[in-house]
C-alpha cells in the first residue's frame, strides 16, 4: 500500500460512515420509527441512536481533515495550487462540523433533558430541530461527495 492509497482509504472510509450514517438515519430509520413507535418510545430511542452514531462521527471528524491534509500534501505542491474543489471540500467540512457540534452540544442535551422529565412536547420539538439540522448536513455531505468525485474544474 502506498502512502497515497493509505491516506485515500483513511479519507473515504470516514466520509462513507458519516454521510452514509446520516442517510440511513434520515431516510430509513426515521420514517420506520414514525410508523411503528409511539412518541415516548421514539423520543427515548433517538438519544441512544445518536449516542452510538456520534462516537463514529467524532472519529470521522478527526480522521477526515488529517487524511485530507495528507492527501493534499501528497498530491499537490501547496494549498494554493490545489484545485477549487479541494478548497470547497475544506469549507463544506467546516460547515458540516459546525452543524454536528450544534446538534451534539446543544440540541442533544435538550432532547435528553426532555426525555428525563418525560416532557414529550419539548422532546418532540428538540427532535424536530435535530432532524432539520441532520437533514441539512446530509444534503451538504452528499453534495460534497459528488463534488469530490466529479472534480469539477472551474
Ligand atoms: C479538511 C477537510 C478536508 C480536506 C483537506 C480534504 C482533502 C481532500 C483531498 C486533497 C482529496 C484528493 C483530491 C484528488 O485526489 O483530486 C480528497 C478526496 C476526497 N474527499 Fe476530501 N477533504 C476534506 C474533507 C472531506 C469531507 C468532509 C468529505 C466527505 C464527507 C470528503 C470526501 C472526499 C472524497 C469522497 C474524496 C475522493 C474523491 C475521489 O477521488 O473520487 N472530504 N479530499
Full DSSP string of 70-108: HHHHHHSS-TTTS-HHHHHHHHHHHHHHHHHHHIIIIIH
DSSP 117: T
Q: For residues 153 and 139, which has the higher predicted lDDT (pLDDT)?
A: 139
Which of 12, 61, 89, 95 has most ligand 1 atoms within 8 Å of CB, for mutation? 89
Domain ranges, ordered by start, for the chain: 3-150
* CATH number of this structure's domain 3-150: 1.20.120
Atom of ligand 1 nearest to the CA of 83: 16
Residue 6 has pLDDT above 80, yes or no: yes
Which of 71, 75, 87 has most ligand 1 atoms within 8 Å of CB, for mutation? 71
Average model confidence (pLDDT) for the chain? 97
Please give the pLDDT value at position 105: 98
Indicate which residue's Cα is closest to atom 12 of ligand 1: 71
pTM (two decimals): 0.94
- Contact between residue 76 and residue 82 where contact means Cβ atoms under 8 Å apart: yes
Structure confidence at residue 153 as a pLDDT band (50, 70, 90): confident
Indicate which residue's Cα is closest to atom 39 of ligand 1: 149
Amino acid at each position: 500500500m502506498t502512502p497515497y492509497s493509505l491516506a485515500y482509504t483513511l479519507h473515504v472510509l470516514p466520509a462513507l460512515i458519516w454521510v452514509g450514517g446520516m442517510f440511513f438515519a434520515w431516510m430509513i430509520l426515521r420514517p420506520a420509527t414514525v410508523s411503528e413507535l409511539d412518541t415516548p418510545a421514539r423520543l427515548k430511542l433517538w438519544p441512544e441512536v445518536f449516542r452510538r452514531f456520534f462516537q463514529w462521527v467524532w472519529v470521522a471528524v478527526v480522521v477526515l481533515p488529517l487524511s485530507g491534509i495528507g492527501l493534499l500534501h501528497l498530491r499537490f505542491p501547496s494549498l494554493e495550487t490545489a484545485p477549487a474543489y479541494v478548497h470547497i471540500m475544506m469549507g463544506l467540512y467546516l460547515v458540516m462540523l459546525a452543524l454536528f457540534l450544534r446538534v451534539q452540544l446543544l440540541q442533544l442535551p435538550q432532547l435528553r433533558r426532555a426525555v428525563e422529565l418525560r416532557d414529550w412536547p419539548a422532546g418532540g420539538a428538540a427532535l424536530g430541530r435535530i432532524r432539520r439540522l441532520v437533514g441539512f448536513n446530509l444534503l451538504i455531505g452528499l453534495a460534497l461527495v459528488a463534488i469530490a468525485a466529479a472534480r469539477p474544474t472551474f
